[in-house]
Each structure stands twice: as structure tokens, then as C-alpha cells.
A and B are shown apart, each in its own frame.
Chain A
């Protein structure tokens, strides 16, 4: 009896110890069950390893800063510029689902910034449907998200839960050697972020937004690195070729750095550090028009 009890306790202790060491992340070892079975499957070797591409993917910024800047520019919220959630059933390949999962997540960030909780649920539902379609729906607790979303005081919590869900999903995809899916999600989110910004610029001609759009030159270069890594796949190659045109349009954007004295101050026990470098952006009207045009072309390709 004692032997059995000792054995049982050992197993439970080992299990708990393992759980403690690895945190609370969701796990599944059944990779066959979660494998993508259509257009994203490929055995061709990658130029960059999963680890390197994972680092590169992290470099694509969140939509929060851009959405906040759009709001502070004074532009009115416009639902018509967002991707329509009724299209969700038309995305019937893993490639399209992953891309538009990114698109709807950027839309959700924009909606959240403008506190438009009346339409949040339909976007959450679209995200959940697409996530299920690429076998990562387990990271989105739709009922919790819906409960938080329908309480107008809880939109910050909604952002925390949804960003956290995306982070867990991204970690999971990378652990399953499915960085190609993560790549499409961040590409979709980035393109939608650029598109929303472009539309806000057209409406306001706001110089801060124009500068911010111009500064995304490096991000577009990063997207090219990511997509080129999977260009042996026809769909990736087609998307990369469209982003290459945008990269070309960005070529004449000039970004220089101005140096100043670094500053740090402590106020009420809190530390604030001011960077000693400042970027100066130069972009002509012609270049801006060309960039916006290419963003629209890519966005149409992504959401159609």
C-alpha cells in the first residue's frame, strides 16, 4: 500500500514540478491533429531557422501605438474602412485565414482604441472562427472575451486578454514549427494597420500620421524578410511580390537621426528616461501617394 502511495505521490509531484517549471502555457503534443493540411504545408528548406524567424516576427509592432495616434489626430471612427466580418466564411484556405486573422486583430485594436464596444463581439467572433480554422482556436476563450467586451468599462481588459491570447498562440505556433502561420498573422495585422493609417491620412492630412507611416519603412523591410523565407510556397511568393512593390515605393523616404543630450529624471519616485536620438523623416507628396496606392493594392489582395 505504502509503495503504491509513494509511487502515486512521485508521479503527481513530478507532474506538478514540470508544470511549475514551464508556466501556465497551453500545451499539446499531438502535432498531427493540429497540422495544417492545405496550402501552408511545405517540406522545402527555409533560408532562416524557425528561431531566427521567430525573433524577426517579434519585431513587427503592435497596432496600439498607431491606433492611438489616429485617435489623437481627431479623425472620426469609421467602421467602413475595416474588413467586413461577413467575409469570414469566404476565407477557406489556411493562407487566407491566417492573413485575415491578423487583419481582424488590427481592426480589433482600432475598435478598442475608439471604445466602440457595440461592434467588438462580431470581430471577436470572426477572429475565433478563423483561429479555429487554422487549429489555434483553443487560445481564444470566446465566452470570456465576449463577457469582457460587452462591459464598456472593460475594454482595456479585453485588450489584455486578446493580446495575451495572440502571444500564447504565437508561442504555440513557433513551438510547433508553424512560424509560417505566425508570419501571415503579423503580415495581415501590419497591412491592416498601414491601411487604416493611410485612410486616416486621406481624411486628415495629419503630418504626425504621415511621418509615422513613412517611418514604417523598416517594418516593410522586415515583412519582406519574413515572407521571402517562405517564398517556395506560391501564395507566399505572390504576397511577397506585392510587398516588394511597396518596399520600392518606400525607397525614397529619407530617415535621418539627430542627436541630443540624454536625459533622465526622477519624479515622485518614478524614473523617466528620454532617448538622446530623434528621427527626422522626409517624404514627398508624390512618394506618400505612391505608398498609399500600394498599401491599398496589397490590402485588397489580402481581404478579397
Chain B
């Protein structure tokens, strides 16, 4: 079985690119690179610069004074900061893993349903297409401790005797928020994985079944390896988004109870727009970028070795 692992024919790079062709290639790329530099690189570099300054608002604009790593010192010494790093990390990891597993199951189900495929994809898309602020408000009503729908259901079914304050304890608030997130963003994973599944040639499956492989073997040896591009794409998008989570906790709990659901993005917003500590806010933003990059790199290398380990 192992010897027959199919792989997509590699796209052959043209080896004989002439020097002039290469030059004109760069020439054609340069405008795009310029645009990216202006709209992406400059803000990032400027944030780093801001994070190294003490910034005061004055009537004639912003007054910056260089203070080195002092803003980062404030972060390192703050329990609130570490708490929100920790919350953001486990929130992102748990939601992304659950969304990937669930998304994979749903994608396989949709792929195997011949009828109603279009309809099920459209239905799946409804949560994803709702604006988060609105769906978060909706979940707020569902979880409400006095008149919430969820309490109505669980008390009517006699699962609990007293209404539960879902957003009332740190643990249940975090879980409730994760459920709302998973409900909303699993469809995104499904869509990417379904399109990935549709690109796998059918003959691979036919060949495998002729060779007597069972469904499980087919999944691990054909579907999963050939889907790894789609999986890592979905995972990367989700990791990036999950680390920037703002709207859901902002609407659902405002970071509470206590500060148990305060994400890094919320902390940054508070520093920048409520406390007017622009330097500290920038340093939170930069720390978040570093954290996201690190997690993405770890994920990519772990995922690659996992897939290669399976394929070998």
C-alpha cells in the first residue's frame, strides 16, 4: 500500500529562464511589491517604532520620546497581560483544533452526499456570513441567565432545576464563547476542505478500492495527504483570526467575568483607545504579531512532519 501513495505531478519549473526574462519578471512584480510595502510593511514597522516610544497627545499632534523597551517591561510585569496571552493562546488552539476536526467530518459528509450538496453548503454558510457582532449579540440572548433560550431548554428538559449563568463563571464563559466561535467559523473550514476534496482525482480512490483498501486506509493514505494543502490553509487562516479575536468577547462578556475572557486584541484596544497609552498599545500589537508568527511556524513544521511521518 505504502509504495502506491499517489502524489500530484509536481509543477516543473522552467529551468531555462533567460536572465532577461527573470529581470522583466521582477519588473512586473515590483509595483505589487511596492503596494504591499506601503500598505503592509510600513504600518508594521511603524507599530514597532511606536512601541519603543512614550507617546503623548498634544494639541499640535503626537509627541514621541524614545524609551527603549520600557513599554514591554510594563507588559512583562503585568499579570493582566500574561493572563490575556494565555487566554488568547488556548482559546485559539482549542477552537482551531475543534473547527478543523468538525470541519473535516462535515466536509467528508457533504462530499459523500450526492444530492443536496449545494443546499447543504449554502445552509452551512449562513453562520459564517453573519456579522460577528450580530451573531455574538444573538448568542448573548441565548446564554442570558434570566431569559435566555438555552436556560429555557435545559430547565424544560429538567436537565437542571435552576437557570445557569452561562457567562457567569470563568470556565463556563470561556466554553460558551468557544461554542459560539466554533458555530460561526466551522463552515469556513468546511468550504475550504470541500473544495480541496473535489480536487482529488476519483481514479485514486477507484485504484485503492480495487487493491482492497478499506475506507479508513483510503482516508489516511489518499484523502488526508492530498488534503494537507487545504488543511494547512484553513488552519493558518483560522489561527490568524483566532489570535485577533475581539468582537466576540467584546460583545458577549466585555472580557468578564473579571478579566477571564480578555483577549490580546481587547487589551490592545483598551490601552490605545480607552487609556490613551499609545506606546503600550503598540507593544501589545507587536507582541501579538510575534506570538502569531511563532504559533504559525510551529504549526506548519509540526503539521509537515506529521504528514510526512504518515506518508512514509
A and B held together in a complex: no
